[in-house]
Structure 1
Amino acid sequence: MLAPLRKIIHVDMDAFYASVEQRDNPALRGKPVAVGHGARRGVVAAASYEARAFGIRSALPSVTALRRCPDLTFVPPRFEVYRGVSAQIHAIFAEFTDLIEPLALDEAYLDVTANKAGLETAWITAKAIRARILEETGLTASAGVSYNKFLAKLASSQRKPNGQFAIQPHEGPSFVEALPVSKFHGVGPATAARMHALGIENGADLKAWSLSDLQSRFGKSGSWYYGIARGEDPRAVNTSRERKSSGSETTFDSDLTNPAEIEAGVLEMANDVWAWCEKTGRRARTVTVKVKWADFQQATRSRSLAGVVASKAQLHEVSLGLIRSVFPPEKGIRLVGVTLSNFAQMNAAPSDQALPLEAAGVTS
């Protein structure tokens, strides 16, 4: 007997960070808002829909954003607030299903096949979830409803903001056929460009390729592309998905060569990361320091400890040791970051003993 089709909802909050800021400050409502820092070297972390009308998106340099929209208001990010709202939203999800896969603070997959809430359809369930979110947080969410994760995520972008869209089982293949491959979740700009060079513009073009040909061109990803071109995605909602790293980074107002100034930036980022560790109780073994040079080349230095990083002082010590490995800097440094990864169980032993320096990766 065939297993029943899953009922998957992808919930995506609308302009989450910016919407929280507009909710909490009525003076910002209806105005173009960017979450981030408006300094010369700053970048946009998130943009309201009013700002997006001017072509302002996340990762856009602040100076470019202000050039596009001189009336743009920058507000500094308040990640503790966003995390708190996210916790409220995830508590609402749990009222409707036990199968929740968080993707970020503002989005998640929900498997409602078991119909925990006793609602008639997944469509009605998605409407109820969105209504509860609005009631509880004052924020709007969009939702996509379908029989697998790939299509549910595609569907959630169809009626943004504050809407929902469903792709029924009999509609999946034809929906994918008409969609440009650049819109496929999991097909980035570089892969889309490769596909375009091969004459693959949309799902129908992709579907025309055999499995063996796709595998020969795209390796292991070939079988994934073969399946999604037919509206197929066997992945289950992964309730055990865990965060693999936590990091913080900053862009300096000007390129730095003074070691003391660079170290001060690293320590500030280490403090941010340790504050997250203290709040969550998580501990990790691997510390990574990231450097972006004035010419935008990047380098990373990592060190893994025999046990977990046990204190902020130890994180400082390891982070400073890593950044000092690039001193004296060969050119100006525009950005530094500190990340913890390789998380351990809470009862893992602390360590003051480090393993040898790992490979230093350099990318453009």
Structure 2
Amino acid sequence: MLPEACEDHGVPGTRDGARQRKVIHIDMDAFYASVEQRDHPELRGRPIAVGGSRERGVVAAASYESRRFGVHSAMPSVTAKRLCPELIFVKPRFDVYREVSLQIREIFLDYTPLMEPLSLDEAYLDVTENLKGIEYASRIAKEIRKRIWEETHLTASGGIGPNKFLSKMASDINKPNGQYVITPEMAQDFVAGLRVGKFHGIGDKTERRMNRLGIFTGLDLRSKPADFLQQHFGKAGQHYYWIARGVDERPVQPDRIRKSIGAENTFASDLTDMDELRACLDPIIEKVWSHCERTGVRGRSVTLKVKYADFQQITRSQSTPREVGSREDLGAMTKALLEGTFPLPKAVRLLGVTLSNLQNDRDDPPLSSERQLSLGL
């Protein structure tokens, strides 16, 4: 690892010369799988996958032992089992994962109030000014990781950089149970050598579009003018222009309000019957509404996701002037959207329901930021 003192040299990486922030990205190592191995000693050292083992199941998390065989999250369970015949499937326990996540967040808050959770297992911390008065962000990251191990018996990896983009990239370098510093001086060279598909926020489709335009690396991306990138990628083009230069001015946002609540289910066999599909919607709707009841959150837009047997996906949405006020209203809107997809062009593999345009009808503090809640049916 680089010398810790390197981290706090000069402050390039901003557009206006403002004081450079110090940002840490903490990412738990194989979080769900590691919790299961911690709580079940007989699983330690063995290849496990958290998720359903049935034919239509999907891997939610893979232990490092199973990753050696090529198993990874979002992989169909049948594929994972074929790659690793000794794979052990474990049913997810999201209530336990959330409890552990909250325990870890309490550790973060001992160092800074500027903590932005991204999901149950990762968060950004702005430690430019920190509650412990520790000079170097790398030392804070090391201390946090040590406390996580002592208090949860789980390991975490850390990335330290002058902004969110670079700290996120850095946290992947020395996984698992390590950390890495990208100094401001390193930023442009580091980004230049990355394949664009490795950039946080650039998915497979965008990478393919970039490749067709002759953009394969960060250096290629940096060679394109801003108007070219905006022409081909819209508003995101400006973001790509700056991150290719190691610049990311997005602040760490504590208590960012969740934008949507969603749940989905992949069926054991493909469905074509309307009555069966309506029945399968009920537990999904119940999951979403239970979260609304528990948190006091209400929304005005309902979206139905339909994934067909060939993996083609469509969405249908409806918005109302007022918040959806009851489970019955949510159910009626969702099922009306489902009826609008009939007659079906092909069998259905998955249904999902999302509630967005959220409002909080209580006086509680805003919800912590998490990506769309996956309720793991």
Question: Which amino acid is 1:30 matched to?
Answer: G
- Distance of 1:30 and 1:277 partners within structure 2: 39
Write the mapping of 1:37-56 to structure 2, written as runs, cut at 5 A. Answer: 37-56=52-71
- Distance of 2:111 and 2:203 partners within structure 1: 32
- Distance of 1:330 and 1:202 partners within structure 2: 40
Matched, 1:175 2:190: yes
1:253 Cα deviation (Å)?
1.2
2:85 corresponds in structure 1 to: 70
1:23 corresponds in structure 2 to: 38
Question: Which amino acid is 1:193 matched to?
Answer: R
- Distance of 2:326 and 2:303 partners within structure 1: 16
1:112 corresponds in structure 2 to: 127
Kept after mapping to 1: 8 A contact 2:56/2:269: yes
The alpha-carbon distance between structure 1 residues 2 and 289, as it changes in their structure 2 partners (threshold 3 A), is closer
1:314 Cα deviation (Å)?
3.2
- Distance of 1:320 and 1:213 partners within structure 2: 43
1:328 Cα deviation (Å)?
5.0
1:234-284 Cα offsets, whole Å, 9 max, x none, are: 211122422111111111111112222211210011111122223322222
Kept after mapping to 1: 8 A contact 2:59/2:76: yes
Matched, 1:256 2:271: yes
2:357 is matched with which residue: 342, 352, 361?
342
Question: Which amino acid is 1:5 matched to?
Answer: Q
The answer to which of 318-327 and 233-242 deviates more is 318-327
- Distance of 1:193 and 1:323 partners within structure 2: 32
2:99 is matched with which residue: 84, 91, 112?
84
The answer to which of 229-238 and 139-148 deviates more is 229-238
2:305 is matched with which residue: 287, 290, 304?
290
1:132 is matched with which residue: 147, 152, 155?
147
1:10 corresponds in structure 2 to: 25
- Distance of 2:299 and 2:234 partners within structure 1: 33
Kept after mapping to 1: 8 A contact 2:264/2:352: yes
Helix, strand or coil for the counterpart of 1:19? helix
Q: What is the root-mean-square deviation in Å for CA atoms of aligned residues?
A: 2.0
Structure 2 unaligned segments of length 5 or more: list them.
1-15, 364-377
1:97 corresponds in structure 2 to: 112
- Distance of 1:101 and 1:202 partners within structure 2: 29
1:237 is matched with which residue: 245, 252, 259?
252
The answer to which of 167-176 and 256-265 deviates more is 256-265
Runs of 4+ in 1 over 4 A off after TM superposition: none
Structure 1 unaligned segments of length 5 or more: list them.
349-364
1:147-166 Cα offsets, whole Å, 9 max, x none, are: 11111011000000010000
Kept after mapping to 2: 8 A contact 1:149/1:233: yes
The alpha-carbon distance between structure 1 residues 210 and 293, as it changes in their structure 2 partners (threshold 3 A), is closer
- Distance of 1:338 and 1:217 partners within structure 2: 31
1:347 Cα deviation (Å)?
5.5
1:135-177 Cα offsets, whole Å, 9 max, x none, are: 2221111010011111101100000001000011111111112
Matched, 1:300 2:315: yes
- Distance of 1:302 and 1:213 partners within structure 2: 32
- Distance of 2:230 and 2:324 partners within structure 1: 42
Question: Which amino acid is 2:97 matched to?
Answer: Y
1:211 is matched with which residue: 210, 226, 234?
226
1:113 Cα deviation (Å)?
0.3
Helix, strand or coil for the counterpart of 1:277? helix
Instruction: Tell me how many residue pairs correspond in the alignment.
Output: 348
Kept after mapping to 1: 8 A contact 2:296/2:362: no
Helix, strand or coil for the counterpart of 1:102? strand
Helix, strand or coil for the counterpart of 2:116? strand
The alpha-carbon distance between structure 1 residues 181 and 320, as it changes in their structure 2 partners (threshold 3 A), is closer
1:327 Cα deviation (Å)?
4.2
The answer to which of 306-315 and 3-12 deviates more is 306-315
- The structure showing larger relative contact order (alpha-carbon pairs under 8 Å, at least 6 residues apart) is 2
Helix, strand or coil for the counterpart of 2:357? strand
The alpha-carbon distance between structure 1 residues 215 and 244, as it changes in their structure 2 partners (threshold 3 A), is closer
Kept after mapping to 1: 8 A contact 2:162/2:184: yes
- Distance of 2:210 and 2:333 partners within structure 1: 43
2:375 corresponds in structure 1 to: none
Identity within the alignment, %: 56
Question: Which amino acid is 2:349 matched to?
Answer: R
Question: Which amino acid is 1:258 matched to?
Answer: D
1:225 corresponds in structure 2 to: 240
Helix, strand or coil for the counterpart of 1:234? coil
Kept after mapping to 2: 8 A contact 1:259/1:328: no
